[in-house]
Structure 1
Amino acid sequence: MRVAAVAAHFGRDLDQCLAKIDTIVAAARSQGVELLVFPDATLGGYLGDLGGRDATGLPPALAEDSPEIARVAAVAGDMVVCLGYREAADGAHHNSAVCLTGDGVLGRHRKVHQPVGESTAYRAGDRFAAFDTPLGRIGMLIDYDKTFPEAARALAGDGAHVVACLSAWPASLTHRAPRLVQDRQSRLFDLYDCARAAENQVVWVSANQTGAMGRLRFLGQAKVVGPGGDVLARTWAKAGLALASLDVAAEVSRARLVLSHLAERRPEAYLPASTSPLRSSP
């Protein structure tokens, strides 16, 4: 399978976003890509600030059956494409991701974990679930979700062999480094990608925004990580396509042949000491 993660900037103009999607999908198709993962907020961009001083306005809100998403599905054709957008549903807005082909939607995810300031624009999701695709079982996370090991573990436990992580991950706002590669958030972004892949022995496809929106400066660093935590392809800070060819089922099986992290878990030992059945009463 040829999988690719996108590093690119997407702003408020939906027509420009759709045109850029068209161009990137065409470039990926010419290279035989079967799974293409775009960043968070592909349609309409992310927030411009997380501190309540956002001068960029909110991203446009789209329903799940919006013509914009239908257009992306038509462009995807037989390619499996994941992308992010601000979803309008049931009187609320969510930071959402959708996975689709020309045949329709395969799976959805609403971001569960919210950084400070995001709750003014989005309502948090409440679940992690993998789903079946023509390429196998896949799960999706949205940027801050990957900070929490339980999120990726829930998807792996639900049978996902591939996790698509869609991000609009910025550099630090409080300790900004002169160069993106020196930024502490740059280090954490890479660390989480590799650790979550290795912990769960899955293929990790990590896309991210580039450029800037308001006060936020995005890191890029799209990558494909193997189930041993090894980076197979990456873009660094610039826009581009991180593309890797691999047999997902074979790679995951090989990684789990001797040490299978999911099978060897000991959930009974993970309970808090005060509630663990193994703790003796005083």
Structure 2
Amino acid sequence: MHTSVSPARIAVVQSDPQVGVEHRNANLTRTLALARKAIRAGANLIVLPELANTGYTFNSRAEAYAHAETLQGGRSVAAWADLARDHQVYVVAGFVEQAGMKLYNSAVLLGPDGLLGHYRKAHLWNQEKLWFTPGDLGFPVFETPIGRIGLLICWDIWFPEVPRVMAAQGVDLICSLNNWVWTPPPLFDESGRCMANYLTMTAAHVNNVYIAAANRIGSERGGRFLGCSMIAGTHGWPIGEVASPEEETILYADIDLSSARSAPIWNNLNDLPRDRRTDLYDETLGYRLHAPLPR
């Protein structure tokens, strides 16, 4: 009988934060309320969307600054950290980070003992390029008591190098924080999934990792958001349902995070890390700049 080594109940929160400094308090309060609801349902790892406390569609760089906070002194990060400590859980959340005069679209991983991880979005989407500086922290993987966790933000999933670099470092779970937007149709296929769902599923499958993708919903300054949050297993298929495009909801999955390290790919002769032809392409792709997968 299999005994779970790194049991986790993941909760992916799909919510509707709204831009505007007048909404900041309500946005933060809502993230905390939804996280507490997930905790009451037994979750010990809660994933909130990209820019969960501010909304997304800024009108100017100055407005983006008005929504920003620092990593160490920020009110939202402190509130999420208090929640993680008080309930002995792990929280992943996105916020506008100010570092000196630079702004970053950032995410934090918080645990019972405080800050465990910090990531700055590397691939900026559309007008984000006008407010934010591209991330400069690489694609780190963070050791936690429940497993190895990586962070990426929205447009990052369109670049297969991002999950691959984390997979090369032995990541068990990638938390994907998103504000997937409505783009020209077709938006959904007959199953109700969007393209970002398939990119998430593919990244999970080809890297043999879990991916917990939290997206937002709602409309904001003429733009709409796709919802469709999901949790993908190491086989790539969704664990449970893919969330609707329009409803605030929380998705759950009970998994053993460390099982990603021995997840089979159809048969016992297929091993994704071992079968990679690093002699042919690692030097070109630059993956050797990152720590290798532990053996």
CA contact (8 A) 1:56 1:214 kept: no
Matched, 1:232 2:242: no
Measure how far apart 1:258 and its partner are.
3.7
* Distance of 2:139 and 2:205 partners within structure 1: 19
- Aligned equivalent of 1:213: 220
Matched, 1:74 2:85: no
Q: Secondary structure at the match of 1:128?
A: coil
Matched, 1:269 2:277: no
Q: Deviations over 1:60-81 (max 9, x none)?
A: 0110021221111111231111
* Distance of 1:61 and 1:155 partners within structure 2: 27
Q: Secondary structure at the match of 1:32?
A: coil
Q: Deviations over 1:14-56 (max 9, x none)?
A: 21112111211111111111111110001211125xxxx7799
From 42, 56, 67, the equivalent of 2:52 is 42
Distance 1:218 1:158, change over 3 A: same
* Distance of 2:170 and 2:262 partners within structure 1: 13
- Aligned equivalent of 2:42: 32
Kindly report structure 1 stretches of 4+ aligned residues shifted beyond 6 Å. 53-56
> RMSD of the TM alignment (CA)?
2.4
Distance 1:231 1:32, change over 3 A: same
Q: Secondary structure at the match of 1:62?
A: coil
Q: Secondary structure at the match of 2:228?
A: coil
Q: How does 1:134-173 map to 2 (within 5 A)?
A: 134-172=145-183
Q: Secondary structure at the match of 2:51?
A: coil
Letter in 2 for 1:69: V
Letter in 2 for 1:213: E
- Aligned equivalent of 2:289: none
CA contact (8 A) 1:25 1:76 kept: no
Letter in 1 for 2:214: A
Q: Secondary structure at the match of 2:273?
A: coil
Distance 1:80 1:271, change over 3 A: closer
* Distance of 1:252 and 1:224 partners within structure 2: 18
* Distance of 2:63 and 2:221 partners within structure 1: 9
* Distance of 2:56 and 2:41 partners within structure 1: 28
Matched, 1:88 2:102: no
- Aligned equivalent of 2:253: 244
Measure how far apart 1:117 and its partner are.
2.4
* Distance of 2:218 and 2:160 partners within structure 1: 28
CA contact (8 A) 2:60 2:131 kept: no
* Distance of 1:249 and 1:272 partners within structure 2: 29
Q: How does 1:122-141 map to 2 (within 5 A)?
A: 122-126=132-136, 127-141=138-152
Aligned length, in residue pairs:
264
